[in-house]
Amino acid sequence: MNTLAVTDGQVLRPDHSIERTDVLIDTDDGTIEALGEFDEPADEQLDATGGLVIPGLVNAHTHVAMTLFRGAADDKPLDAWLQEDIWPVEAELTGEDVRAGARLGIAEMIRSGTTAIADMYFFMPEVAAVVEEAGIRARLGHGCITVGKDDEAAHEDFEAGLEFAREYNNTADGRVKTLFTPHSLTTVDKQFYEEYIPKAHDAGIPVHIHANETTQEVEPLVDEYGKRPLEYADDLGILTEETFLAHGVHVDETERELLAERGTSVVHCPASNMKLASGMAPIQKLHDAGVTVALGTDGAGSNNDLDMFDEMRDAAMIGKLAEDDASAVPADAVIDMATKAGAETLGFDSGRLEEGANADLAVLDLDSLHLMPQHDLVSHLVYAARGSDVRHTVCDGQVLMEDRELQTLSADDVMAEASEHATELFARAE
């Protein structure tokens, strides 16, 4: 057994206690071998002195290549933003652009302690290649849509989605798993759900869609079918334990109970929901109903960063506003959303620093002005820390960042490549 020891840090345990202990990693299989003090020196050491060791954060909903759109169009509502700014440029996207954008986004996430993502976009083999190269863990799906397409083109799109999901599942030593990702309940014709959801289930591929993000995604379905969107989704067989829904902003009590009953998770994207004025998801109510809620940044076009520390803070903040109650969505619940619940949603045995779990972790530097004094490190993780406090990032037992230096990607190359692709992409779309 080859080993890596993360030494001399304080370790955040699944019960939110914090323990001074080392973490011994079996680097052959990428799991945590043990926590404790060890007599034998490990093959490699990662110094966590003065630091806090936390599970690698899970970004359970993003469109990583959209880093290329960061700051290109702000201060617009979802519909106008998609139709006027995003879709015309996306029409010009190439696989090389997606690769450059994915490298940028994944590098940014490694630098801010994220080790697992769920990504829905186009040219997904490119994203899979970057995930493999960068060393993180991912659930990837080709986003399928029928709006604006004739029947043949829509079928091609859905077949491509299914083919990607089958071909790439369990690649990159198991770090890449796949998803079947129809875009949303209103941008995909009912017949395509009827045709393809059973195929995804048969192939054992989890379904991930946008749902109930804005009121415009609720009303048309209520008007047409006389049902709430998630009742409609349930009729189509979408709501299973493996399925997870992005956003879930406008979910009523019936829908929350339905989610709990089916074991379907929701991925909360607070920054995107605020920036696009989509609304405030009822996170405390979802928790109270027993729904698993993960956390995601959404794409950098509507956030505009991929820093899960921002997202944790936003989730706590907006969660309180939504309930008109400052005790709602407390810090420990938010940490669970970004770790345990995220990993559970994506189906990875990560998100917890325990023997046997995947060795996916981040080490934060605590020796900073904005993290003093240290009455409560759980509070600091949510309300005061930020991605730039992450010193080391480890995924699957491999060190992806050490002392803020990326190990699997070159930050300079990634930035230069992304800037060039963004400039050329937007020039083509002019």
Smallest gap from Cβ 371 to its own copies, in A, equals: 8
Name which of 26 and 119 has its Cβ closer to its own copies.
119
Whichever of 235 and 323 has its CB closer to its own copies, that residue is 323
Gap between the Cα atoms of 40 and 130, Å rounded: 36
Residue 323 interacts with its own copies (CB under 8 A): yes or no: yes
Closest to 148 measured CA to CA, from 91, 198, 225, 197: 91
Name 116's bridge partners.
58, 137
- Using the minimum distance from each CB to its own copies, give the nearer residue, 266 or 318: 318
Closer to its own copies at the Cβ: 1 or 321? 321
Residues 88-127 touching its own copies, rule: CB under 8 A, are 104, 107-108, 111-112
Minimum CB separation of residue 218 from its own copies in Å reads 15
Please, which of residues 18-77 interact with its own copies by CB under 8 A? Answer: 67-72, 74-77
Beta-carbon contacts of residue 295 (< 8 Å; ≥ 6 apart): 58, 59, 60, 267, 268, 269, 270, 308, 311, 312, 315, 334, 337, 338, 341, 342
Q: Contact between 325 and its own copies (CB under 8 A)?
A: yes
Pairing of strands 114-121, 398-402: unpaired
Query: By CB under 8 A, is residue 430 in contact with its own copies?
Result: no
Min separation Cβ 412 and its own copies, Å: 9
d(C-alpha 93, C-alpha 374), whole Å: 47
Q: Considering beta carbons, is residue 135 or 206 the nearer one to its own copies? A: 135
CA dist 83 and 41 (Å) reads 57
Nearer to its own copies, 70 or 208 (CB): 70
Q: Token digits for 232?
A: 């409609």
Smallest separation (angstroms) from its own copies to the CB of 270: 9
Question: Among 129, 136, 109, 107, which Cα is nearest to 411's?
Answer: 107
Question: Residue 105 or 161: which CB sits closer to its own copies?
Answer: 105
User: Where in 177-236 is the site for its own copies (CB under 8 A)?
Assistant: none
Which of 316, 361, 399, 400 is the binder for its own copies (CB under 8 A)?
316
Nearest distance in Å: CB 130, its own copies: 14
Question: What DSSP element (H or E) covers 383?
Answer: helix 377-383
With binding defined as CB under 8 A, does residue 403 bind its own copies?
no
- Residue in 43, 151, 321, 413 binding its own copies, rule: CB under 8 A: 321
427: contact with its own copies by CB under 8 A:
no
Q: Judged by CB under 8 A, which stretch of 25-33, 221-229, 291-299, 421-429 contacts its own copies?
A: 421-429
Task: Draw the binding track, 366-395, toward its own copies (x: CB under 8 A; -: no contact).
Answer: -xxxx-xxxxxx-xx--xx-xxx-------
Helices assigned H by DSSP within 112-228:
124-134, 151-168, 190-202, 219-225
> What whole-number distance in Å separates Cα of residue 65 and Cα of residue 201?
27
The number of helices, as runs of H, and strands, as runs of E, in the chain is: 16, 20
In angstroms, what is the minimal distance from the CB of 23 to its own copies? Answer: 24
Phi (first) and psi of residue 44, to 5 degrees: -130, 155
The answer to whether residue 140 forms part of the interface with its own copies (CB under 8 A) is: no
- CA separation for the pair 344, 206 (Å, rounded): 13
Tokens for 213, please give them: 């993000």
Subset of residues 271 to 310 that bind its own copies, contact rule: CB under 8 A: 271, 274-277, 279-280, 300, 303-307, 310
Supply the minimum distance, in Å, between the C-beta of residue 10 and its own copies.
15
Shortest CB 131 distance to its own copies, Å: 17
Compare residues 160 and 317 and give the one whose CB is closer to its own copies.
317
Sheet holding 51-55, edge to edge: 18-20, 10-12, 51-55, 361-365, 390-395, 398-402, 405-406
Strands 18-20 and 22-26, bridge-based pairing: unpaired
Whether a cis peptide bond, with omega within 30° of 0, leads into 304 is: yes
Region of 51-59, 159-167, 363-371, 390-398 interacting with its own copies (CB under 8 A): 363-371
Q: Any contact of residue 314 with its own copies (CB under 8 A)?
A: yes
Q: Which residue among 39, 148, 202, 327 contacts its own copies (CB under 8 A)?
A: 327
